[in-house]
A and B are shown apart, each in its own frame.
Chain A
Amino acid sequence: MYGKGLRTLSFATVASFFLALGLVFFYAPLEAEQGFLQKIFYLHVPLAIVALCGFVAGGIMAIMHLRTRDQRWDMRSYVAIHMSLIFGVGTLITGSIWAKGSWGHWWVWSEPTLVSFLIVFLLYAIYQPLRFSIEDSERQSRYASVFAIVAGAFVPLNFLAVRLSTEYLHPRVLGSSSNLPPKMRLTFLVCLAAIALLYITLCKFEMTAKHTRSQVRALRRALSGEASRLGRSAVPTLDQAPGRAAGMGTGTPSASVASSGAPAMGRPGV
């Protein structure tokens, strides 16, 4: 479903952000040791959790893409990973600020979340260059999906391995979210919901934008009657005919637009 429910989602996101900010600044108590700086925890950890879930979700969508050969899954996977990468950068930056405030260094190796994130970030940063360097778009989608699956499986394994190695050297410094006092826990959960909503809304926006762009391109192509030169792109195109699935493919509106030459109006929701 593209475009449907975007307005509701946006409102919900903005509302939850207001609520979250209110709670963070006026409701949650000041932490004894770290003082005001600790409040960045409410941003850092939700960002981390949402980004990680996004990476894993990207991997699951990639599995669906390989199974159904439907380009739409590839698009979803791309957007999920792309957005998680951005949230991942946010995690690293907020984590770095926290580290500076707490230990006086912009980077610490003793925090396994941060370290794992750096590794995962380094891996996923290759996703787009990988896509861009494969010209054939079907192969690009396929290889990107393989990468997304491997990387998605890597995320939890990497976490475990880094956690093991850091525990070996240093005891974990930051308390986990499970032993938080109730006021803090409520604030944390609301922040988590807000960030998650933000992620979903942004993903939907991006998918809608890409979908609309590909519809415009298809229209343009239908009107002018020839394929436009796209050039190389790392972004999956939706106007490819979805590959064959077992049995009859679901309605392939994009293929019919291209081959029938008639502009598509009032398409059923994809």
Chain B
Amino acid sequence: MIELRGVGRRYGEREALRDVSLELGEGQTLVVFGPNGAGKTTLLRVLATLLRAHTGEVRVLARNLPEEGWALRGLIGFLGHEPLLYRELSASENLRFHARLHNVGLERVAEVLAAVGMEERSGEPLKTLSRGMVARVAVARAVLHDPRLLLLDEPYANLDPGAREHLQGLIGGASGRTRVICSHDPGGGVAEADLVLGLREGHQVMLKRANDVREGEIAELYR
């Protein structure tokens, strides 16, 4: 599903990612840990085709990035720090816009809004909603087109506590989708993972199967 070999990306003289290599199979979950600035978001954006890698090879869904990135859009669901929604528009207006961009039937918008528990306030402009609610709509946006690969950057950060349970079917392990999650939560993160990647200052310092991760090993990354 995902193959990375020696992937690197620079910003000017700073190496945001350096020599990252891993393989992730279909239906599996990769959880990426690391302190701020470690390169987690950069890695996610490279996988999402939003950034080009400067060195190394990236293969997602049997496509080489960046040349074949066009073939992957519509197969990837991306949930970043920003909700990627227009504040002046309502939840359903935003989602209908995305539906049109992905050529998804409009009836699906109502389905997804119901699944994230936002049908009631779907007609109000997002700027009147709380951050937790906007985060739910963002999740709806990410799964609207039924992606094969989910890329989630600290997905539970803005969600209300109850929402995390509620949304397991959409973005959690129960969804059955292949997932790459950036996380700051060692306990919960490892529990969800099949594969764990530790980044520090762009370097790959740990890559293990979740079962092999020792107690406190994640916390060491942050020291």
Q: CB distance B13 to A241 under 8 Å? A: no
Range of interface residues on B (Cβ < 8 Å): 10 to 19
User: CA A241 – CA B54 in complex, angstroms?
Assistant: 7
Which residues of B sit under 8 angstroms from A237, Cβ to Cβ? 12-13
CB of B55 closer than 8 Å to a CB of A: yes
Q: Which of B1-36 contact A (CB under 8 A)?
A: 8, 10-15, 18-19
In whole angstroms, how far apart are the Cα atoms of A122 and B169 in the complex? Answer: 58
Determine whether B66 belongs to the interface, using a CB cutoff of 8 Å to chain A.
yes
Beyond A241-B54, A244-B54, A259-B18, whether A138 also contacts B11 by CB under 8 A is yes
Known: A241-B54, A244-B54, A259-B18. A221 touches B11 (CB 8 A): no
A221 in contact with B13 given A241-B8, A246-B67 (CB within 8 Å): yes
B145 CB–A CB distance under 8 Å: no
Q: By the criterion CB–CB under 8 Å, are B12 and A243 in contact?
A: no
CA distance A240 to B15 in the complex (A): 10
B52 within 8 A of A: yes
- The secondary structure that dominates the A interface is loop
Decide if A240 touches B67 in the complex (CB within 8 Å).
no
Are A255 and B13 in contact, with the CB atoms below 8 A? no
Q: How far is the CB of B91 from chain A (nearest CB, A)?
A: 31
A136 (CB) vs chain B CBs: closest residue: B11
Asked whether A137 is an interface residue with its Cβ less than 8 Å from the other chain, the reply is yes
Contact with A along B38-63 (1 / 0, CB 8 A): 00000000000000111100000000
Are B52 and A240 touching (Cβ within 8 A)?
Answer: no
Contacts of B52 in A (CB 8 A): 243-244
A247 nearest CB neighbor, chain B only: B67
- With an 8 A cutoff between CB atoms, is A8 at the interface? no
The complex places the Cα of A27 from the Cα of B81 at a distance, in Å, of 72
Please encode chain A, from 31 to 62, with 1 for each CB lying within 8 Å of some chain B CB and 0 for all others. Answer: 00000000000000000000000000000000
Q: Closest residue to B53 on the A side, CB-wise? A: A244
Which A residues touch B19, using CB under 8 A?
Answer: 259
**Would you call B15 and A227 a contact (CB within 8 A)?**
yes
Residues of B within 8 A of A221 (CB): 13
| Alpha-carbon distance between A217 and B13 when the two chains are bound, in angstroms | 10
Interchain CB contact under 8 A, A227 and B14? yes
- Residues 120-144 of chain A, each 1 if its beta carbon lies under 8 Å from chain B, else 0: 0000000000000000111000000
A136 and B52 alpha carbons, distance in the complex (Å): 14
Known: A246-B67, A255-B55, A259-B18. A241 touches B11 (CB 8 A): no
Give CA–CA (A239, B13) in the complex, Å: 7
Which residues of B from 105 to 147 have beta carbons under 8 Å from A? none
Residue in B8, B13, B53 whose beta carbon sits within 8 Å of that of A227 in the complex: B13
Task: Given the known inter-chain contacts A244-B52, A244-B54, please indicate yes or no for A137 contacting B66, CB distance below 8 A.
Answer: no
A265 part of interface (Cβ distance < 8 Å)? no
Give bound CA distance, A217 to B53, whole Å: 23
Q: Any chain B CB within 8 A of the CB of A230?
A: yes
Residue of A nearest to B14 (CB): A227
In contact, A136 and B12 (Cβ under 8 angstroms): yes
Known: A246-B67, A255-B55, A259-B18. Contact between A241 and B12, CB under 8 A?
Answer: no
A228 on interface, CB distance cutoff 8 Å: yes
CB-defined contacts of A217 to chain B, threshold 8 Å: 13
Q: With A241-B54, A241-B55, A244-B52 given, is the CB distance from A230 to B13 under 8 Å?
A: yes
Please measure, in the bound complex, the distance between the C-alpha atom of A244 and the C-alpha atom of B14, giving whole angstroms: 18
The complex places the Cα of A136 from the Cα of B11 at a distance, in Å, of: 6
> Once bound together, how far apart are the Cα atoms of A4 and B33, in whole Å?
49
Contacts of A246 in B (CB 8 A): 67
A228/B13 in contact, CB under 8 A:
yes
Chain B minimum-CB-distance residue to A242: B54
Interface pairs (15), CB distance under 8 Å: A136-B11, A138-B11, A138-B12, A221-B13, A227-B15, A228-B13, A237-B12, A237-B13, A240-B12, A241-B10, A241-B55, A244-B52, A246-B67, A259-B18, A259-B19
Please give me the 10 A-B residue pairs with the lowest Cβ-Cβ distance, nearest first.
Answer: A137-B12, A227-B13, A241-B54, A227-B14, A230-B13, A240-B10, A136-B11, A241-B10, A241-B55, A237-B12
Question: Using a CB–CB distance below 8 Å, which chain B residues touch chain A?
Answer: 8, 10-15, 18-19, 52-55, 66-67
18 A-B pairs besides A240-B13, A255-B54 with CB distance below 8 A are: A136-B11, A221-B13, A227-B13, A227-B14, A230-B12, A230-B13, A237-B13, A239-B13, A240-B12, A241-B10, A241-B54, A241-B55, A243-B52, A244-B54, A244-B66, A246-B67, A258-B15, A259-B18
